[in-house]
Amino acid sequence: MGATGHLGTAWRKRDYHRQWLWREANRLFDFFQNRAFNPLGGFHELDVDGRPLNAGNPVRGIHSTARMVHCFAIGSLLGRPGSDEIVDHGMKFLWEKHRDHERGGYHWSLDNAGLLDATKQGYGHAFVLLAASSAKLAGHPDADRMIADVTEVLDKHFWEDRHGAIAEEFEADWTPVAGYRGQNSNMHLTEALMAAYEATGERFYLDRAESIADLIIRRRAAESGFRVGEHFDENWVLDRDYRGNEMFRPSGTTPGHWLEWTRLVLQLYALGGRKHAWMPEAAKALFDQSIALGWDTEKGGFYYTLDWDDVPAKRNKLWWPMAEGVGAAAFLCEHLPDDKHELWYRRIWDSISRHFLDNERGGWHEELTEDLTPSYTLFAGKSDIYHALQACLIPLYPATGSLTRGIIEAGQR
């Protein structure tokens, strides 16, 4: 059944819905633009009311800095006043403070006194590449040097040809942290590699993105019935018993990542000339599994994690799987039009609108209980614009590449 069957015109094509998405994107920009700016460098994480967390000595994680650069590069491309200042502020902090000027690479976190966590992680380097690539498309003068620098680091230290993916983590002196390979860092690097390809035109980046997707989705996820494994040993053998950092490496499986991969695989399919027939088939399978196993059919929302028997383990509902569900459904509606995908696009937005939008104070609630009431066991406030902003903007542009490139091609700059 087509996407314009009994459901009528797709929401993404309706003027009212598009205006609603613009309004919600602007609410996010308004919430973060001035509140998150830290005059001492980098950006504040925010509490529920939009005030800086630990204002006296805030922690600045590399992914938070890089995501703000990426999001306000989008703001710059859209023509939002003040965005270029934020991009420049974040790029300067990445280059001068996160970057290891002696040994190369980028440290994980710091506070006003200096380094807190000097490790060099694939997850963080992926976001540096994303930030620099988006900044380049927004015209930042120092973007090229950062793209070149982080690309060299990724190639020299992280990339493993024998697997076609990256290693996870190193000490500050580049001593390997042994025993672990993770899909999450590689997933975000796939996003960043596609952005770098669009920013530079260098096919090298797209080839590596395809290599990672082939390993993690075509081979490993397919072996597990398109439930994406999170944790692996150094030979990329799935470790179902892994117990690690429950913030960045939760045990079990994470349906939100299946949704994220749905969009990324279809984006990669489009950028690569639609030559890999396995990609749309895999994207559909990933989405089908996420809603069949991860969606709470009684209360709504995606469970945070499942165990390997497909039983909800962490039953709280987070904002980012909902945001990624929007992006996944939007891309599916474009590439594999079906009323099922349109229905889920609407259903996810209905749940976000009812439960996740904080219409009183701004931003989104980042964590809800199983019963969909705000809670703060994993996240103290509202620290992230990245997932929610992309959910609002991705449906407004063609599903043929990254959001930044789509804005440029649509003539919004």
387 a catalytic residue: yes
Distance separating alpha carbons of residues 400 and 301, to the nearest angstrom? 27
- Is residue 12 within 8 Å of residue 395, measured between CB atoms? yes
DSSP code of 116? E
Query: Which residues, in sequence order, are bridge partners of residue 317?
Result: 303, 368
- Is residue 296 within 8 Å of residue 303, measured between CB atoms? yes
Instruction: Give the other-Cβ count within 10 Å of 81's Cβ.
Output: 9
Helix (H) or strand (E) holding 19: helix 15-33
- Is residue 380 within 8 Å of residue 47, measured between CB atoms? yes
Active-site residue among 63, 107, 257, 335? 257
Distance separating alpha carbons of residues 318 and 335, to the nearest angstrom? 27
Distance separating alpha carbons of residues 352 and 323, to the nearest angstrom? 8
Distance separating alpha carbons of residues 236 and 218, to the nearest angstrom? 13
Is residue 311 exposed (0-12), middle (13-18) or buried (19+ Cβ within 10 Å)? Answer: exposed
Distance separating alpha carbons of residues 228 and 363, to the nearest angstrom? 29
Helix (H) or strand (E) holding 222: helix 222-223
Measured in residues, the chain has a length of: 413
| Helices and strands (H, E) in the chain, number of each type | 14, 11
C-alpha distances in Å from residue 46, one per residue of 92, 110, 238: 21, 17, 36
C-alpha distances in Å from residue 63, one per residue of 30, 119, 149, 241, 400: 21, 13, 17, 27, 25
257 a catalytic residue: yes
Active-site residue among 44, 341, 355, 387? 387
Distance separating alpha carbons of residues 406 and 192, to the nearest angstrom? 15
Helix (H) or strand (E) holding 160: strand 159-160
Distance separating alpha carbons of residues 119 and 176, to the nearest angstrom? 10
Query: Which residues are the active-site residues?
Result: 257, 387
